[in-house]
Amino acid sequence: MAESIPADAMHAHDDHHHTEQSIWSKYVFSTDHKMIAMQYMFTGMAMALIGGFMAYAFRMQLAFPGIDVPGYGTVTASDYNALVTNHGTIMIFWVAMPVLIAAFGNYLIPLMVGCDDMVFPRLNRLSYQIFLLSAIVLIASFFVPGGGFGGAWTAYPPLSAKSQYSLTALGSSFWLVAVALEFTAFLLGGINFVTTAMNARAPGMKIFDIPIVVWMIVVASILFMSSVGPLIAGAVMLFMDQNVGTAFFDPDKGGDPILWQHLFWFFGHPEVYVVLLPAMGITAEIMCVFARKKMFAYKTFLYTTFATGILSFTVWAHHQFVAGIDPRMANIFTVTTLLISIPIAEMCFIYIATLYGGSIRLTTPMLWALAFVAEFLIGGVTGIFLGASGADIYFHDTYFVLAHFHYTFFPIAIIGTFAGFTYWFPKMFGKMMNDTLGKIHFWGTIIPFNFIFIPLFVLGAAGQHRRIYNYEHFPELAGVEMQDMRVLATVSMLVMLVFQLVFFYNCFISWKKKQKDAGKNPWKANTLEWTTDSPPPHGNWPELPTVYRGPYEYSVPGREEDYFPQNVPD
């Protein structure tokens, strides 16, 4: 049996360096974790561009109703619904998840735990291929007769189940199949993340020597696996309702539309933490490195993570307070929802405490990491309004909700990704990014971001509800002041989109070797990925490392250097 062969007696990986690979097997059908990570990363970024383009189209329609949107055309009611639906779906399932979990997970886990690849490389490749297929199916849903699905990313039946209501018979089914395939891809991917972190650790790496970001991706994968099942069952049921004529969610034949909401949100709420945790992990790594500080209360941080994960299974019905569930249930879910604020608050306190006494260098990755904490706090506290049942009666389904979850998801999916990408760019491509351009891009993204969503909080407080393509039919929402707010949000979004060009330009020139070589460890960091070449060769290290200490031994007293890599013997 393969398990019985002592690991380091086997120098078979030397093969890796000498085999000439065709472009086809190197870039497309590679089983190398770094290449699969890049595939996920660039697919995710391409999908982010598509999702961003959708946001551009519908924000233009909201600010200037009826205009011929440059590059899109007129946004009709059905277009608008399809755009907002797929914007949400794409940004969560095809951007946040692939980039934060799959791309960073694939890239970092083997490098950070000190092994040469994932433990199931071919399964890893299959996971990406299914993911790519799911993305293609989703995009195809826009081009089938009837157009894309427009029943919101929550896909509540009967609207999503019956084509006479949604008018998108094929679009709904394509959307559902795409989402189900994406889930399958991540269930397969999760096998690798968890087993690699558990079993393929370098000699000497004990469980509390694992970097936070690896922990976070593992916990996120476990959360995903344990919450997505009911929704996969729900997706099968919904698909059969759409196409076979079953009546799971059809009240006329004895079904129940509310059932879907339970299945959806039982997954939907943990899903927030599935993408939040990797982003928090990335932020923690960066903050420790650039504050030259040990992570404050590493173990407490982990325990609060576990607490958050467990609590996240008990809060789902706070999305359904006014959905027709038994009103007594709302009381229970108000309590659990507010309880979850405690571990999350503690995690934020730990971040702040980590900065105390540090020696903070404000590099581009550090700016992103700090911005993550500062902005995520706003998203976190505004959630309390929505978790408190009495206040949610008013705020439910208004732009307040929308602004709240953009203040959580934007820091997660965009700020977290940029933090991680700019931090590990030297490792991934062997070149430093231009710091000035990086900072221009940072401020050009963060400032407009606040100017997009603070007006939306105000609009939500003024009662503007969601998923309306044109407010002119509602006298109380059609006023000039409110329209000005919408224009402000849209213009800010345009500014933000323009500044993304700086990022792509920066990537391009940095990659084109106009920047200096990164060397092995440009940030003077402790974790194992910085002990190999940049970019790491196939097989990662000529000789796999051994670990002697935890990942955050910065500024250790009595040591000349202010960092102490994990693989350096005492």
Partner 1 sequence: MRPIATTRMAAGIPTGRLAIWWVVASEIVIFGGLLVSYIMHRLAKPEWGDHAANTNVWIGGFNTFVLLTSSLSAVLAHKAAVNGDGPKAAKLLYATCFGACTFVVVKALEWNMEISHGFTISSNTFWSFYYTAAGLHGLHVIAGAIIMLIIAETAKKNLELHRVELIGIYWHFVDIVWIFLFPLLYIAK
Partner 2 sequence: MIDQYVVALSTYANDIDNLILLIGVLVGFWLILCELVFFYFIIRFRAKDGRRAEYITGEEKSHKRWISYPHMLVLVCDVFIVFFAIKVWYDVKQQLPEPYETVRIVGQQWAWSFVHPGADHELGTADDIKTVDELHIEVGKVYHFKLESRDVLHSFSVPVFRLKQDAVPGRVITGWFEANGTGTHDIQCAEICGIGHALMPAQIFIESPERHAAWVAEQSPVTLASANQP
Residue whose tokens read 């593992």: 218
Identify which of residues 198 and 353 has a Cβ nearer to partner 1 in the complex.
198
324 binds, among partner 1, partner 2, none (CB under 5 to 8 A by kind): partner 2
Alpha-carbon span 187 to 185, nearest angstrom = 6
Q: Which of 10, 28, 77, 447 binds partner 2 (CB under 8 A)?
A: 77
Binders of partner 2 among residues 218 to 277 (CB under 8 A) are: 251-252, 256-258
Please report which residue ranges of 292-340 form alpha helices under DSSP H.
298-311, 327-339
Alpha-carbon span 569 to 544, nearest angstrom = 14
User: Using the rule CB under 8 A, is 166 a contact of partner 2?
Assistant: yes
Identify which of residues 132 and 391 has a Cβ nearer to partner 2 in the complex.
391
Binding track over 304-323 against partner 2, x by CB under 8 A: -----------------xxx
Beta bridge partners of 554: 563
User: Using the rule CB under 8 A, is 209 a contact of partner 1?
Assistant: no
Residue whose tokens read 């968890």: 194
Identify which of residues 224 and 333 has a Cβ nearer to partner 2 in the complex.
333
Q: Which of 64, 120, 349, 451 binds partner 1 (CB under 8 A)?
A: 120
Judged by DSSP in three states, 431 sits in strand
Q: Which of 127, 192, 308, 398 binds partner 2 (CB under 8 A)?
A: 398
What are the distances in angstroms from CA 160 to CA 51, 175, 180, 235, 342?
Answer: 21, 10, 15, 11, 36
182 binds, among partner 2, partner 1, none (CB under 5 to 8 A by kind): none
Question: Could you tell me the sign of the dihedral formed by the alpha carbons of 417, 418, 422, 428, in that order?
Answer: positive
Instruction: Record the tokens describing residue 448, joined without a space.
Output: 């407009």
Binders of partner 1 among residues 526 to 565 (CB under 8 A) are: 539, 544
Binders of partner 2 among residues 485 to 504 (CB under 8 A) are: none
At its nearest, how many Å lie between partner 2 and the CB of residue 227? Answer: 23
User: Using the rule CB under 8 A, is 116 a contact of partner 1?
Assistant: yes
Binders of partner 1 among residues 219 to 258 (CB under 8 A) are: 225-234, 236-237, 240, 244-248, 253-256
Binders of partner 2 among residues 457 to 486 (CB under 8 A) are: 458, 461-463, 465-471, 473-477
Alpha-carbon span 106 to 125, nearest angstrom = 11
Alpha-carbon span 198 to 138, nearest angstrom = 34
User: Using the rule CB under 8 A, is 355 a contact of partner 2?
Assistant: yes
Identify which of residues 99 and 237 has a Cβ nearer to partner 1 in the complex.
237
Identify which of residues 140 and 259 has a Cβ nearer to partner 2 in the complex.
259
Binders of partner 1 among residues 158 to 187 (CB under 8 A) are: 187
Q: For helices 364-387 and 341-355, what crossing angle results, to 10°?
A: 150
At its nearest, how many Å lie between partner 1 and the CB of residue 9? Answer: 9
Instruction: Give the Cβ contact number of residue 225 at 10 Å.
Output: 16
Alpha-carbon span 27 to 485, nearest angstrom = 46
Structure letter (DSSP) for residue 477: G
At its nearest, how many Å lie between partner 2 and the CB of residue 369? Answer: 11
Identify which of residues 248 and 449 has a Cβ nearer to partner 1 in the complex.
248
DSSP, residue by residue, 41-105: HHHHHHHHHHHHHHHHHHHHHHHSTT-EETTTEE--HHHHHHHHHHHHHIIIIIIIIIIIIIIHH
User: Using the rule CB under 8 A, is 201 a contact of partner 1?
Assistant: yes
Residues in contact with partner 1 by CB under 8 A are 1-3, 5-8, 10, 12-13, 15-16, 110, 115-121, 187, 190-191, 194-196, 198-201, 205, 225-234, 236-237, 240, 244-248, 253-256, 259, 263, 266, 539, 544
